[in-house]
């Protein structure tokens, strides 16, 4: 029986539905992570955050989501092993999309910020084990990805701690905070320009065929950072500090500056996230589309425009409909944030992403931001500033993500195989 010939249209329709569902989950859970600090600190209202994220996430997903994508994300299994039974790859990718989407829905309902990459990786591992055998899975790749449970929050948390302590010592806790702000904030503005540019190069534009080395990206980003710093210096010259004003008024003015800087970092992270993590949803969909249309398994699958559009729309819908749940966890339930704290967390998260791209260290953007929020909480007031009950539930959800995706994918794989059969 030619399964693809007989049921190809139905399987493709299911792929579109499941892919949209997965993209919806990415928007509801992962995008909310990037915007949670901005909302929690008051830099953006919930409505403003949704609008900003929708614009930049969709732009990143549609314009830089990739014209060609690997058939199997992250090299977890070798597609060549399925060359004789292409329908099994279709079942596996369908099962992976549905499993990851279901887990993201459950996690979002609970307000757990989990990794969408880990969700789809766990699902593909489950399908690989039951469809091809345990030896077909690249366990080294799985272990490397799992290492990000430790590396992501640890690196980001340490950087966030250091950044906020520097802000506190140099500016907020000084005798003349407004004067010190004029002196030191341009340096932080340089760091913002540098890091948002690097994030855009390393995560946002790698999928459009832009052949730029890390050193070239760094050189261009330094130039952007200098330009941003120069703009900051020029704007600050127009503001004369009044030393006789109330000390708390000075601090409020400084917090407003950090709130403005947060908007820039949030926009950049949203664009980079849309361009990178949308592949978790549309990569398997592109693979299914390729197999159904050609009847063959290939290492690379072309990415039609309509799939990029579907992924971008799915992300926006997920954010608008359910993103507030995870935003509340990141922005308010772990620790109380204000703009200087949120800025430190976002800058450290962006810096960690850049560091990971340069060194090859596997990181999860979700785990990175959570670690950064933990870091600024510790820097502000020590252990007492953190809600450890919330933190414990988040860590448990991270540990459960891979096996949950795998178990659900196994169940869905057997259901699809029973319904459509094999050739």
For residue range 206-260, list pLDDT tens digits in order: 555 566 777 888 898 899 989 888 887 777 665 555 555 566 676 788 888 888 8
Is there a contact between 365 and 147 (Cβ–Cβ < 8 Å)?
no
Distance CA 62, CA 59 (A): 5
pLDDT > 70: percent of the chain: 89
What b/e string do you get for 110-131 counting C-beta neighbours within 10 Å, with b at 16 or more? ebbbbbbbbbbbbbbbbbbbbb
Backbone φ, ψ for residue 137 (5° rounding): -85, 135
The region of weakest confidence among 39-43, 112-116, 375-379 is: 39-43
Average pLDDT over residues 346-362: 78
Angle made by CA atoms 148, 142, 116, in degrees to the nearest 5:
60
- Which of the pair, 44 or 65, is modelled with greater confidence? 44
pLDDT of residue 152: 84
pLDDT at residue 268 is higher than 90: no
Residue 5, burial from CB neighbour count under 10 angstroms (0-12, 13-18, 19+): exposed
What percent of the chain shows pLDDT beyond 90? 23
Query: At 194, which helix (H) or strand (E)?
Result: helix 177-199
Tell me what pLDDT residue 73 has.
53
pLDDT for 18: 96
Distance CA 172, CA 107 (A): 37
SS3 172: helix
Mean pLDDT of 285-296: 85
Burial of 329 by CB count in 10 Å (0-12 exposed, 13-18 middle, 19+ buried)? buried
At residue 2 the predicted structure's pLDDT band, cuts being 50, 70 and 90, is confident
Using a cut of 0.85, tell me whether the model's pTM lies above it. yes
pLDDT at 146 over 70: yes
Please state the rounded mean pLDDT for residues 127-151: 84
Quick check: helix, strand or coil at residue 137? strand
Q: Give the residues across from 69 on adjacent strands.
A: 301
What does the alpha-carbon distance between residue 240 and residue 179 come to, in Å, rounded to a whole number?
9
Reported as a pLDDT band with limits 50, 70 and 90, residue 178 is confident
Which stretch of 53-57, 61-65, 156-160, 190-194 has the lowest confidence by average pLDDT?
61-65
Q: Taking Cα atoms as reference points, which of 220, 212, 211, 203 lies closest to residue 353?
A: 203
Q: Compute φ and ψ for 306, nearest 5 degrees.
A: -65, -30
Alpha-carbon radius of gyration of the chain:
22
Cβ-based neighbour number of residue 106 at 10 Å: 16
**What is the chain's length?**
423
pLDDT of residue 91: 93
Would you state the pLDDT for residue 397?
A: 92
Q: Are 339 and 258 in contact (CB under 8 A)?
A: yes
pLDDT at residue 98, as a whole number: 96
What's the rounded Cα separation, in Å, for the pair 36 and 323?
9
| Tokens standing for residue 109 | 């309902």
Report the range out of 128-137, 295-304, 356-365 with the highest average pLDDT. 128-137
The residues, ordered by sequence, that sit 6+ positions from 162 with a Cβ below 8 Å of its Cβ are none
3-state secondary structure string, 259-300? Answer: HHHHHHHHHHHHHHHHHHHCHHHHHHHHHHHHHHHHCCCCCE
Residue 66: pLDDT band by 50, 70, 90 thresholds? low
Residue 286 has pLDDT above 90, yes or no: no
3-state secondary structure of 301: strand
Task: Return the pLDDT at 74.
Answer: 53
Tell me the pLDDT tens digit for each residue of 78-115: 777 777 788 888 999 999 999 999 999 999 999 899 98
Q: What is the mean pLDDT of the chain?
A: 83
How many whole angstroms separate alpha carbon 328 and alpha carbon 323? Answer: 9
> Looking at residue 243, what is its pLDDT?
53
As a whole number of angstroms, the distance between CA 252 and CA 254 comes to: 5
Q: Work out the average pLDDT over 161-179.
A: 89
pLDDT over 50 (residue 71): no
Lowest mean pLDDT of 149-153, 212-216, 289-293, 393-397, name the range: 212-216
Q: How far apart are CA 363 and CA 355, in angstroms?
A: 10
Given a cut of 80, whether residue 32 has pLDDT beyond it is: no
Kind and range of the H or E run holding 302: strand 300-302
Q: How many CA atoms are closer than 13 Å to the CA of 193, on its beta-carbon side?
A: 20
156 and 142 Cβ atoms separated by less than 8 Å = no
Q: If 0-12 CB within 10 Å is exposed, 13-18 middle and 19+ buried, where does residue 304 land?
A: middle
pLDDT at 317: 92
């Amino acid at each position: 029986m030619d399964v693809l010939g007989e049921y190809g249209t139905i399987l493709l329709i299911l792929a579109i539905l499941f892919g949209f569902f997965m993209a919806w989950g990415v928007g509801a859970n992962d995008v909310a992570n990037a915007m949670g600090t901005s909302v929690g600190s008051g830099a953006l209202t919930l409505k403003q955050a949704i609008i900003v994220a929708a614009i930049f996430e969709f732009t990143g997903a549609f314009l830089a989501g990739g014209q060609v994508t690997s058939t199997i994300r992250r090299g977890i299994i070798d597609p060549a092993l399925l060359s004789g039974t292409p329908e099994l790859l279709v079942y596996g990718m369908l099962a992976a999309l549905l499993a990851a989407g279901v887990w993201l829905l459950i996690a979002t309902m609970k307000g757990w910020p989990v990794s969408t990459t880990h969700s789809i990786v766990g699902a593909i591992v489950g399908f690989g084990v039951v469809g091809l055998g345990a030896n077909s899975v690249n366990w080294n790749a799985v272990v490397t990805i799992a290492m990000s449970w430790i590396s992501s929050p640890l690196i980001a948390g340490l950087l966030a701690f250091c950044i906020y302590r520097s802000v506190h010592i140099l500016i907020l806790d000084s005798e003349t905070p407004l004067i010190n702000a004029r002196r030191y904030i341009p340096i932080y503005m340089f760091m913002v320009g540098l890091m948002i540019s690097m994030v855009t190069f390393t995560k946002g534009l790698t999928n459009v065929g832009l052949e730029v080395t890390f050193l070239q990206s760094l050189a261009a980003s330094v130039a952007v950072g200098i330009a941003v710093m120069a703009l900051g210096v020029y704007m600050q010259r127009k503001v004369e500090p009044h030393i006789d004003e109330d000390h708390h008024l000075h601090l409020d003015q400084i917090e407003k500056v950090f709130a403005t800087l947060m908007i820039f970092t949030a926009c950049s992270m949203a664009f980079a996230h849309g361009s990178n993590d949308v592949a978790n949803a549309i990569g398997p969909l592109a693979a299914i589309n390729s197999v159904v249309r050609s009847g063959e398994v290939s290492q690379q699958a072309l990415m039609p425009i309509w799939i990029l559009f579907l992924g971008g729309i799915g992300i926006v819908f997920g954010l608008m409909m359910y993103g507030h749940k995870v935003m509340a966890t990141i922005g308010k339930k772990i620790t109380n944030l204000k703009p200087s704290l949120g800025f430190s967390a976002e800058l450290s998260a962006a810096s960690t992403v850049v560091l990971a791209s340069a060194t090859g260290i596997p990181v999860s953007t979700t785990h990175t931001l959570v670690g950064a929020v933990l870091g600024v909480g510790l820097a502000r007031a020590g252990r007492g500033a953190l809600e450890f009950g919330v933190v414990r539930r988040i860590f448990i959800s991270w540990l459960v993500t891979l096996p949950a995706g795998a178990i659900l994918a196994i169940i869905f794989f057997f259901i699809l195989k029973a319904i459509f059969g094999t050739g």
